[in-house]
Amino acid sequence: MRVTMKNLNAILKPHGLEFVKGNGYFYFASLKGCEVNIIPESILVYALRQQTWKQWENDMECAIKQSQKEK
């Protein structure tokens, strides 16, 4: 699958998360109206192409697990 913000956010949306681009990094935010226990840590890459789809998929799975942990 092609690495795009749309494809990555499709993985996160059902879990109340959104993936957002910062300046030299990407970060997670909770979607409006969704309650998330913990906001996952940022991912320090400059561009999406710096990782393969499999690496991004793994990062998204880890972020989902992290967001579901109790505070």
Q: DSSP string of 6-32?
A: HHHHHHHGGGTEEEEE-SSSEEEEEPT
| The pLDDT of residue 70 | 72
Give the model's confidence band at 34: pLDDT under 50 very low, under 70 low, under 90 confident, else very high.
Answer: confident
CA distance 66 to 24: 22
Mean pLDDT over the full length of the chain = 91
Query: What is the per-residue pLDDT for 23?
Result: 87
pLDDT at residue 71 greater than cutoff 70: no
pTM: 0.85
43: three-class secondary structure by DSSP = strand
